[in-house]
Amino acid sequence: MALLTANQVFQMNGVAVSEKIIPDGTRWKDGAKAQKAGFSAGSLYKKQQRLSGGTGKVQGVTIHNTADLANVHDDGEQYTRATYNENMGSVRVHYYVDDTGAWQNLKAGTGLCANDPVGSAEVSWHAGDGSTPDGGNMTTISMEVIMGDTAAHDEKAKDNAARMAAWLLWKHGLTIDKLFSHTYWVNKSAGKHFADVDRQCTNPVRNQKWCPTYIFGSSNPDIALKNWKAFKQLVQGYMDALNGGAQAPTADAAGTLYRVQTGAFSSKANATAYAKKIKAAGFDTYVVKADGLYKVQVGAYSKKANAEAQMQKLTAAGFQAFITTKSGTPV
């Protein structure tokens, strides 16, 4: 099967998203593949129902990991192509995300493209909890983050996922506590409930899937918890930037500095390498540490208009950037 052509490509918080939403009315064609996946030929290929009892209300974002494909540049396209080719069994997710960008397979109610109007978020099959009304399938947007390649690849894939998760939470009026792992729903299905959401997101259930494995980074639950919290901090940082932009005052507040940020990394080495790349393009840059992350920034300005002008220059040079008022410790 030839490479897919997206219906539309758009930006979500600095990530290029290729929209290839499965059309309503699509049905299984291959009887053998359908039966193996638990369906019959001619049955609907997706749930074709809006989230949260048909209202389209998004109640969270669920993060998964799936393996990088060897010798494939755009893994999201190949996973999407496998979906269209009836080779993904019963799995249907909203987004496949890797280091190059993302592919969208189901409506998420974003309003960012014609095929995904606001309020249209639909059910996906990803959490293993069937049609449980308050389960992950029926209430949340699903994201498969493709990892398991080089450290640089995985760092970028994770950053793209964090950017998108932040935007989706922000768009749907949700807070960071509505960011779930697949394992959160595994625990819920097993009757295990924790007051600490992060514990439920990382608690292993015997003989059940533990996911997102690459983001957890270890089979040790305590280390996995630490790494999951670090990922949430990355998402929160992008949410803070979005909220800051949405609530920015019309006049500059006394003493406020507007910082142009173009990357945030859990690894100092990766942040330093990225800063060198920015500097080689002609921008003065520096790295600060804040909220457990190494952030690459390009200037701090007392006037927001000046920060916006610098951000536009970075964007024109091919770099992702946004404005934040959060400071950090130079490293």
Angle, alpha carbons 263-239-227 (nearest 5°): 70
Q: Can you name the residues that pair with 103 across neighbouring β-strands?
A: 18, 96
- The more confidently predicted of residues 288 and 30 is 30
CA 163 to chain centre: 6
CA dist., res. 13 & res. 162, Å (int)? 10
pLDDT at 307 over 60: yes
- pLDDT (tens digit, 9 = 90+) per residue, 231-285? 999 999 888 888 764 332 233 444 567 888 988 888 889 889 998 888 888 887 8
Question: Treating both helix axes as pointing N-terminal to C-terminal, what angle do 221-246 and 151-171 enclose, rounded to 10 degrees?
Answer: 50
Cβ–Cβ contacts within 10 Å for residue 318, how many?
7
- The more confidently predicted of residues 53 and 266 is 53
- The more confidently predicted of residues 286 and 15 is 15
Whether 35 contacts 21, CB under 8 Å: no
Lowest mean pLDDT among 13-22, 177-186, 270-279: 270-279
Q: What's the confidence (pLDDT) of residue 1? A: 60
Give the DSSP H/E element, type plus range, for residue 45.
none
Q: pLDDT over 70 for what percent of the chain?
A: 95
Q: What does the DSSP assignment read for 241-282?
A: HHHHHHT--SSPPTT--EEEEEEEES-HHHHHHHHHHHHHTT
Q: Can you name the residues that pair with 294 across neighbouring β-strands?
A: 265, 289
Q: What does the DSSP assignment read for 151-201?
A: HHHHHHHHHHHHHHHHHHHHHTT--GGGEEEHHHHHHHHTT---SSHHHHH
User: Structure pTM?
Assistant: 0.75
**All domains of the chain in start order, with CATH:** 8-237 (3.40.80.10), 251-330 (3.30.70.1070)
